[in-house]
Amino acid sequence: MKYKSQSVAKLYFIAAIALFVAQILFGLIMGLQYVVGDFLFPTIPFNVARMVHTNTLIIWLLMAFMGAAYYLIPEEAETELFAPWLATLMFWIFLAAAGATVAGYLLFSYSDLAELTMNELLPTMGREFLEQPTITKIGIVVVVLAFLFNIGMTILKGRKTSINLIMLLGLVGLAVFFLFSFYNPVNVVRDKFYWWWVVHLWVEGVWELILGAMLAFVLIKVTGVDREVIEKWLYIVIAMVLITGLIGTGHHFYWIGTPDWWQWWGSIFSAMEPIPFFMMTVFAFNMVHKRRREHPNKVATLWALGTAVMAFLGAGVWGFLHTLSPVNYYTHGTQITAAHGHMAFYGAYVMISLAMISYAMPLLRGRNAANPAKSQVLEMWSFWLMTVSMVFITLFLTGAGILQSYLQRVSDNPMPFMVVQEQINLFYWLREIAGLVFLIGLVLYVASFFVGQNEPEAVVADR
C-alpha cells in the first residue's frame, strides 16, 4: 500500500465478503426449496430468498468495485484520495442501507415493505433485481454520486492513466444506466425494454470496463509487464465488449413484444460477445507468461487467470449456447438461463473481485507483498472448490434446462411446467450438493484470512 487513504478499501472488502456469505446461504435455501417445496414456507418464501440471494450479490459486487476503485485509483493517480472521510462515511451509509433493505425483505411481507417505504410515490419495486425499495435506490444513487465525485477529483489532481480513466468510465456508466431503474411505465413492453438498459448495459456493458480495469491493474502488479502493453490490450478488449455488447442487448428483445427485426440484430451481435472474453483469456495468460517478476502473491495470479477462463466459459460459451434466436425460442426463461447466469456472474464478477481482494488485502493488512504460504494454500483450495463446484452447478442446471426445454416446449406432447419440474428433480438435488461444496470452499476462503498471519513472507523477485 503506497498511499494511506487506500486503507478505506479494507472496509469495503470486508463487507463484500460478509455479504457474499449471506448470498450463498440464501442460495442454498432456494436450492433446497426447488426440491423440498415447503422448506421454510411461509416464513421465507422462495421469492424472498431469491431477492436476498440476488440483491446481496449485486450489493457485494458494488462494494468490491468501490473498494477496488478506492485502492487502485490513488495508486494509479499517484496521490492520496481526495476525501478519505467521505469514502468512510459513504461506506457506513451504504452498509446501513443494504442491511436495512435485507432486514426489510426478511421481516416484512413485500407488500408491507412497499407500503412502509411509500412505493406509491414513485413505484420502482417488484421488478427482477430491482426489488429494492425506492428509498434504497435513491440511497444507492447518493452513495454512488459521492463515490464518483471522490474518485473523479482524485484522478483530476493526479496522474491520468488509461486504467484509471477506464475504471472511471465504467463506474460513471454504472451510475447513468442505474437511473433507468426509476422508469417504470404501466406498458409492460416498454417497462421490460428499458429494464434491460439497467441489467444488460450493466453486466454485458459497463461492468466489463470495470472488470477490465481491475484485471489490468492486478496483472501489471503481479507480472511487472510494461504498462503500455497491458493498456493496449485493455483498450482492444473493452472496445470489442462495447462494439458487440451494445447492439447485443437485442438478444433480450426477441420475445417481449418488441419488433421482429431484433431477432437479427440480437443474434448477430450477441453471437460475437464471446470474442472479447476470449481475448481477455489470451491477454491474461500472455501477460503471466511474459512476466518480468516472480510475485509471491501466487493466489492473486490464480484468481486473475481463473476469472479470464471462467468469464469466457460462463459469459462467452454458456451465453452463446442460447443466444441465437431460433435456440432461444425454446430455452428463454428456463434453467438454461439460470445455468448461464450462475457461471457468468461467478466467472466474470465474483472472481475478479476476489482477485482484487486477494492482491490488495495482504497489503492493506500491513504485509509487504503477499500472505504467507499457509494462508495462500488454503485460499487456493477455496479457489478450486468454489470454481469446480460452480462448473458442476452450471452443468447440472444445463442438464435440467435441456430436459425442461424439451419436455415443456419441443416434444409433441408438451407437459405442464410443474409436471416437468418433478421430472428433473434429480438435477436440482445434484445442484444443491454442488452448492454445499461451494459453501465449504467459501468457508475455507474466509478461514484463509485468519491463518499463518505471524509467519514470515516472501519478497518480490525479479526474473
Query: 301-330: which residues touch another protein (CB under 8 A)?
Result: 329-330
Binding piece for another protein, criterion CB under 8 A, among 13-21, 214-222, 335-343, 367-375 = 335-343
Q: In this complex, which beta carbon is closest to another protein, that of residue 187 or of residue 368?
A: 187
> Pattern of binders to another protein over 112-141, x per CB under 8 A?
--xx---xx--x-xxxx--x----------
Q: In this complex, which beta carbon is closest to another protein, that of residue 412 or of residue 462?
A: 412
Binding piece for another protein, criterion CB under 8 A, among 39-47, 342-350, 353-361, 432-440 = 39-47
Q: In this complex, which beta carbon is closest to another protein, that of residue 92 or of residue 417?
A: 417
Quick check: 242 binds another protein (CB under 8 A)?
A: yes
Q: In this complex, which beta carbon is closest to another protein, that of residue 88 or of residue 286?
A: 286
CA–CA gap between residue 325 and residue 450 (Å, rounded): 49
Return the bridge partners of 222, or none. none
Q: In this complex, which beta carbon is closest to another protein, that of residue 99 or of residue 126?
A: 126
Residues 149-208 contacting another protein, CB under 8 A:
162, 184, 186-190, 192-193
Number of residues that bind another protein (CB under 8 A): 77
Quick check: 456 binds another protein (CB under 8 A)?
A: no
Quick check: 48 binds another protein (CB under 8 A)?
A: yes
Question: From the CB of 270, what's the least distance to another protein, in Å?
Answer: 13
CA–CA gap between residue 35 and residue 352 (Å, rounded): 32
Question: From the CB of 338, what's the least distance to another protein, in Å?
Answer: 6
| Residue in 21, 25, 44, 45 binding another protein, rule: CB under 8 A | 45
Quick check: 396 binds another protein (CB under 8 A)?
A: no
Binding piece for another protein, criterion CB under 8 A, among 32-40, 95-103, 308-316, 385-393 = 32-40
CB-neighbour burial class of residue 223 (10 A; exposed 0-12, middle 13-18, buried 19+):
buried
> Pattern of binders to another protein over 410-439, x per CB under 8 A?
x---xxxxx--x------------------
| Residue in 4, 47, 118, 426 binding another protein, rule: CB under 8 A | 47
| Residue in 265, 381, 406, 429 binding another protein, rule: CB under 8 A | 265
Q: In this complex, which beta carbon is closest to another protein, that of residue 255 or of residue 381?
A: 255
Question: From the CB of 193, what's the least distance to another protein, in Å?
Answer: 7
Residues 351-390 contacting another protein, CB under 8 A:
none
